[in-house]
Structure formats: structure tokens, C-alpha cells
Amino acid sequence: MAQVVVEGLRKTYRVAVREPGAWGAIRGLARRRWREIEALAGVSFAIGTGELVGFIGPNGAGKSTTIKILSGILRPSGGACEVDGLVPWRDRIRHVARIGVVFGQRTQLWWDLPVIDGFDLLRDIYRVDPARYRRTRDELVGLMRLGPLLDQPVRQLSLGQRMRCEIAAAMLHEPRLLFLDEPTIGLDAPAKLAVRELVGTLNRERGVTVVLTTHDMQDIEALARRVIVIGKGVILADEPLDAFRAGVLAERRVVADFAGEAPRIAIPGVEERAREGRSLELAFDPARIAAPALIAAIAADYPLEDIRVVQPQIEEVIARFYDLHGAGEA
Ligand SMILES: Nc1ncnc2c1ncn2[C@@H]1O[C@H](COP(=O)(O)OP(=O)(O)OP(=O)(O)O)[C@@H](O)[C@H]1O
Ligand SMILES: [Mg+2]
């Protein structure tokens, strides 16, 4: 059953236009001029309980705006949206008790308080049963390796340390639905892996529904089974990640290392994509030639040191999709 339903969602921001110079400033005081930015131009999708969806798109596409509406922070200009049967901005108090939200760009913890005191405050705000709270908190502290950070004020934490605390904070009341807006921004590799593991575990083992926004395509590849792609306020794609990948760039690649300089290979349906010294990257259409046949054909004619079949990098797939749809930043 759908847990999140969004239909024809629109959001127009109104921003004051600054007129240049002193006279402009004075005129501006008397008669403000406004410009409208259409951030969402009719967005629809539905997300089922237990799904983990990658919500991706270029800068300025409308991702954070959508997440803010879904989490009850913003009121849309039009359209409808329900989460677990509640309208987020109307039933805000009941709604926020059921969801967890992380905005990688800002903190929901108290800047001057030690981490542990912030966690305790959230326990009181969400009225979490104390025994249950202790159990969840200790589990999250273990998973995110927060032990040594708990007594430090939030403002003293490094970005990555703070992000780990933010994610734990969003989970303390055990929400069934998580909105993550760039949760791995600025994290080092181990911290990224820790976040991925935590999010994956929550989804797989606890059935938590996750909407994940990120520019890190490795996060998407590791976690998301489905992607919703937004560009300039409209949905451009909504399908399983595998289907999306195959639809954008169906070709596969063979990377071959030769004993000597990489040869020129002329096999129908095979194109060279990159070469460097003894190494060659070839693209092939799996519908025209099967990988084992291609490998056998190369091995028969040339001395090989290594050969492997790879998929095009997910970053390349996304970049090509944005290109095809003219989805780059407005
Ligand atoms: N508070 C605001 N006032 C005016 N315009 C805004 C406001 N917030 C966002 N916008 C504009 O709305 C559009 C969508 O912004 P949004 O933050 O939703 O994009 P995004 O997809 O999250 O991008 P990014 O990947 O850069 O985080 C942009 O053109 C942005 O400039
Ligand atoms: Mg954003």
C-alpha cells in the first residue's frame, strides 16, 4: 500500500527583486517588486511501505522543496500530498512524530548542547518511553560509533561527526519513514559506508521506508532499488534502477589488459571507449554479442593479462540522462 502519495504538487517561491543603486533601494522600499520561481510544476509519485527510493536530480531541480513539503516544513502552492493518511503541513504535530528527517545542509541538534543532552531533549519532545529510548539510543550510538562524541557540544564536532549524530537523532523515536536530504554530504569514506549500512539495515531489517536524496551516485547504487528523477520541477523518470540504467545506457563494457600495447579491435557491435597503454575499454551491445563470445574472440587473437566485464559507471548514466533531458541547472 502506498505510504506516500503526491499528486500534482506545485510550489512557487516569491522573491523580492533588488533594484540596483540607492534610488533603487528607496523605490524598493516604497514599492516592492517580486519575481516568481516555479520550483515544482506538478509533481506526482507514490511510494509504498518498505521501499527505499533514490530521489535524484541536478542542483535546483526541486528535491529539497519536495522533501520540505513531505516533512511538513513547507506548504505547497497547489496539488495534494498525503503521508500515512496525514496531510503533512496540516497535521504537522502528529506527522512529525512518525517521520525522521535529515537535512545534510543544516542541523536539528542544539548547537551549544552536548550531543547526549540533545538526544535526551528529543526523547522528551517525541515522548519516547525511557526504556525503549535507552535501547534505541545505545544501538544507534554503537552503529554510528558515537560513543566518544556524546559529551561534546554539537558546535565542536566535525561535519562528518555531526552528520552521524544527526542521523541517529532522526531515528531516536523509531520512525517508520525516513526522509534523507543529502545525508552523506561531506562525509569521509568510512562514515559514508557507516551511513549506507545503517540506512540499508533500517530498510531491510526493520522495514523503514526511505526517501533518499543525494548527489552521490554510489549511495544510490548501493541502496536504491527505484529512482525518481526530477528536473526543473517535473518528474523525468520513475522506475527501478536497473530499468533506468538499461534505458539510458544499455551498453556494457569490457576492460582488457594486454601483454603488449592495446590493439585495435574490429568486431561488429563493439566500440572503443577508452585506451591507455596496455589497457582498453570496449563498449558492446549485449543484445548483439554476448560477453563470453566477445571475450573468447579477443582472447583468441591477442595475448591477454586480464579481462573483465563492467557496467558503465552510474555517474556516467546519470550525466547522460540529464544531458538528454536538458535537465541541467536552471
Ligand atoms: N526559500 C526559497 N526562496 C526562493 N527560491 C527558493 C527557495 N528555496 C528554493 N528555491 C528555488 O527553488 C528551486 C528548487 O530548489 P531546491 O532547493 O528544491 O533544489 P534541489 O533539487 O534541492 O537542489 P540541490 O541539489 O542544489 O540541493 C531552485 O531554483 C531554488 O533556487
Ligand atoms: Mg537540495
**pLDDT computed for residue 253 by the predictor:** 93
List Cβ neighbours of 104 (8 Å cut-off, separation of 6 or more).
Answer: 163, 166, 180, 181, 182, 183, 184, 185, 186
Domain ranges of the chain: 49-246, 250-311
Ligand 1, atom 7, lies closest to the CA of 13
Ligand 1, atom 5, lies closest to the CA of 13
Ligand 2 centroid–CA 51 distance in Å is 21
Residue ranges with CB less than 5 Å from ion ligand 2: 63-64
Ligand nearest to the CA of 34: 1
Cα torsion through 108, 109, 110, 116, rounded to 10: 160
pLDDT by residue (tens digit) across 162-193?
A: 988 998 999 999 999 999 999 998 888 888 88
| Residue 241 pLDDT greater than 60, yes or no | yes
Ligand nearest to the CA of 15: 1
| Residue 27 pLDDT greater than 70, yes or no | no
Ligand 1 centroid–CA 187 distance in Å is 22
| Residue 290 pLDDT greater than 80, yes or no | yes
Neighbours of 139 (CB within 10 A): 12
pLDDT by residue (tens digit) across 247-272?
A: 898 889 999 999 989 999 988 889 99
78-83, strands of its sheet edge to edge? 33-48, 2-17, 78-83
pLDDT by residue (tens digit) across 108-119?
A: 899 999 999 999
**Mean pLDDT score across all residues of the chain:** 91
Distance in angstroms (rounded) separating the CA atoms of residues 74 and 68: 5
Best substitution site from 13, 40, 102, 182 to test ligand 1's pocket, by max atoms within 8 Å of Cβ? 13
**pLDDT computed for residue 29 by the predictor:** 67
Question: Nearest 5°: phi and psi at 195?
Answer: -65, -45
Ligand 1, atom 30, lies closest to the CA of 60
Q: CATH topology for 49-246? A: Rossmann fold (3.40.50)
**pLDDT computed for residue 190 by the predictor:** 85
Ligand 1 centroid–CA 235 distance in Å is 15
Q: What is the mean pLDDT of residues 185-210?
A: 90
Distance in angstroms (rounded) separating the CA atoms of residues 174 and 206: 10
**pLDDT computed for residue 330 by the predictor:** 52
Distance in angstroms (rounded) separating the CA atoms of residues 36 and 2: 33
Q: What is the mean pLDDT of residues 219-233?
A: 95
Distance in angstroms (rounded) separating the CA atoms of residues 253 and 271: 9
pLDDT by residue (tens digit) across 95-144?
A: 999 999 999 888 889 999 999 999 999 999 999 999 999 999 999 998 88
In 3D, which of 198, 181, 224 has the Cα closest to residue 53? Answer: 224
Distance in angstroms (rounded) separating the CA atoms of residues 161 and 169: 12
Ligand 2 centroid–CA 181 distance in Å is 7
> Which residues form the pocket of ligand 1, taking CB atoms under 6 Å from any ligand atom?
13, 15, 37, 39, 57, 59-65, 330
Q: DSSP labels for 45-106?
A: EEEETT-EEEEE-STTSSHHHHHHHHTTSS--SEEEEEETTB-TTTSHHHHHTTEEEEETTS
List Cβ neighbours of 106 (8 Å cut-off, separation of 6 or more).
Answer: none
Q: DSSP labels for 178-197?
A: EEEESTTTT--HHHHHHHHH
| Residue 45 pLDDT greater than 80, yes or no | yes
Best substitution site from 65, 179, 181, 212 to test ligand 1's pocket, by max atoms within 8 Å of Cβ? 65
Q: What is the mean pLDDT of residues 48-68?
A: 96
Ligand 2 centroid–CA 151 distance in Å is 30
Distance of CA 164 to the CA centre of its chain: 16
**pLDDT computed for residue 187 by the predictor:** 86
